[in-house]
């Protein structure tokens, strides 16, 4: 009878040792992660509540956590374009119960109220007033209550993809050409190398059709995310970005601890965020259970317009915001606030007035009649600011005393607040001459 007891005692002792080792190992991993989180540039004092503007009647979406994700167009090698526009703007909504995530890309050229009744491209808000202004722009135009953000630039995305061993991405001929061109600047900016994708010969008749799946490194995947000169324009670009995010999430879930630690060591110093270390540590144990359920772009219904520069016009802002809330929160009883309705009317007025036709979300421009051209001579009462603009050239509340114009008018001081510059790579691509000319007039990258 005594022998079984001894065996049980030995077994219990072994189990206790295993549990203790696991506990110690868990503490070690927790300690490692905690130490690595110290490398993140946590801006706990940057976005205080008083810095963030929201609409007074905007709904409080309980049961959800919503973040703003910004991809910054930061280019040390090209000072003219080193303006830190947020050329990638993504709203991430997390259902706290189901752990499902929904992503919405805000098209960078969307005409919105970016600051103090200044109507311009959405991506200019970050350059105008940093993350606080960019978050406020999202809140006040879209009836949201975002208080936290995460911001990264080219380097971070390149590094993450390389740490994960690259991504397998389907490419069309059009995407290959533009990706190779963008790789020139991306490589120069990040100091990372790449091998250009060899173009098929002969050139296919359908340059937009997927030709196959290619293994891309960090420079290539980041350049792929920058493409907006295929037929789908910026809508295709944001879809590529969300696709890459999904691939990164899926691959990171399967990666070993050493890979995750490597990403933390290299990438965390490149991140700026207001999400506290405590909040991040709380999220980590359940992170494996999170999944990206669905993604889309905003606005869903839109039109192209020329308002001293090419812009995307929501048709209308009011109706698009309603659809946005339904997508993010399933909010069938939501009604846009008066602030959103006022901005909606102002945007239509700026874009030329009248009923705006609806385009499909693939971004393909089908008719020249889709453009609404602003003409100051059409009305003597055209005032797009809080004050009366005596010279009718400034759409902000101030009169640009420093001669820098951040409004819808083209930046005549040669400062580009709009982001991507396609002419970053080779100027003699065979694709340039026979394809991009179709979109140069109505969707110029220099605006």
- DSSP code string of 153-182: -HHHHHHHHHHTT-EEEEEEHHHHHHHHHH
Q: If 0-12 CB within 10 Å is exposed, 13-18 middle and 19+ buried, where does residue 262 land?
A: middle
Q: CA geometry: angle at 407 spanning 439 and 80, to 5°?
A: 70
- Under 8 Å between Cβ of 397 and 346: no
Residue 12, CB-side half-sphere exposure with 13 Å CA sphere: 6
**What residues in the chain have per-residue pLDDT under 70?**
1-34, 36-37, 40-50, 73-84, 284-287, 308, 353-447
User: What residues contact residue 181 under an 8 Å CB cut-off, 6+ apart?
Assistant: 223, 422, 424, 425, 426, 429
CA distance 398 to 164: 47
Length of the chain: 447
CA-based nearest residue to 152, from 143, 139, 140, 161:
161
Domain spanning 42-447, CATH class: alpha beta
Domain locations in the chain as residue ranges: 1-37, 42-447
Residue 77, CB-side half-sphere exposure with 13 Å CA sphere: 12
- Under 8 Å between Cβ of 106 and 403: no
User: What residues contact residue 390 under an 8 Å CB cut-off, 6+ apart?
Assistant: none
Residue 255, CB-side half-sphere exposure with 13 Å CA sphere: 21
The position carrying tokens 């995947």 is: 221
CA distance 185 to 2: 76
CA-based nearest residue to 91, from 73, 108, 99, 103:
103
Other residues' Cβ atoms within 10 Å of the Cβ of residue 24:
10
Return the pLDDT at 197.
97
The position carrying tokens 């219990």 is: 12
> What are residue 282's phi and psi, to 5 degrees?
-65, -35
């Amino acid at each position: 009878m005594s022998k079984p007891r001894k065996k049980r005692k030995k077994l219990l002792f072994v189990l206790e040792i295993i549990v203790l080792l696991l506990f110690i190992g868990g503490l070690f991993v927790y300690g490692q992660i905690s130490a690595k989180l110290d490398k993140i540039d946590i801006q706990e004092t940057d976005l205080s509540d008083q810095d963030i503007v929201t609409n007074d009647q905007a709904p409080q979406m309980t049961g959800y956590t919503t973040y703003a994700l910004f991809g910054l167009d930061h280019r040390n090698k090209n000072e003219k374009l080193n303006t830190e526009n947020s050329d990638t703007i993504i709203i991430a909504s997390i259902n706290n119960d189901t752990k499902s995530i929904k992503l919405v890309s805000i098209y960078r050229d969307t005409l919105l109220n970016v600051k103090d009744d200044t109507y311009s491209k959405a991506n200019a808000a970050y350059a105008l007033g940093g993350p606080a202004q960019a978050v406020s722009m999202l809140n006040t135009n879209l009836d949201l209550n975002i208080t936290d953000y995460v911001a990264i630039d080219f380097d971070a995305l390149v590094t993450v993809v390389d740490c994960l061993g690259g991504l397998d991405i389907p490419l069309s001929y059009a995407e290959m050409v533009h990706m190779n061109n963008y790789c020139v600047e991306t490589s120069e900016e990040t100091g990372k190398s790449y091998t250009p994708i060899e173009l098929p010969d002969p050139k296919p008749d359908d340059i937009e059709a997927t030709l196959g799946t290619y293994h891309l490194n960090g420079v290539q995947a980041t350049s792929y995310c920058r493409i907006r000169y295929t037929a789908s324009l910026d809508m295709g670009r944001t879809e590529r970005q969300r696709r890459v995010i999904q691939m990164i999430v899926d691959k990171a879930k399967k990666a070993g601890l050493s890979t995750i630690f490597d990403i933390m060591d290299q990438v965390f110093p490149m991140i700026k965020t207001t999400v506290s270390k405590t909040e991040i540590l709380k999220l980590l144990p359940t992170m494996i259970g999170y999944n990206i359920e669905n993604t889309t772009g905003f606005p869903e219904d839109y039109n192209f317009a020329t308002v001293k520069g090419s812009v995307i016009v929501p048709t209308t802002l009011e109706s698009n915001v309603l659809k946005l809330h339904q997508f993010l929160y399933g909010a069938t009883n939501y009604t846009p606030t008066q602030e959103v309705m006022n901005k909606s009317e102002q945007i239509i007025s700026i874009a030329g007035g009248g009923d705006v036709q609806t385009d499909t979300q693939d971004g393909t421009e089908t008719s020249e009649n889709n453009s609404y051209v602003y003409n100051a001579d059409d009305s003597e009462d055209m005032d797009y600011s809080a004050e009366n603009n005596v010279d009718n050239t400034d759409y902000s509340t101030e009169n640009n005393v420093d001669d820098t114009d951040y409004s819808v008018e083209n930046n005549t001081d040669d400062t580009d607040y709009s982001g991507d510059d396609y002419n970053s790579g080779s100027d003699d691509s065979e694709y340039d001459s026979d394809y991009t000319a179709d979109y140069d007039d109505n969707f110029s990258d220099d605006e």
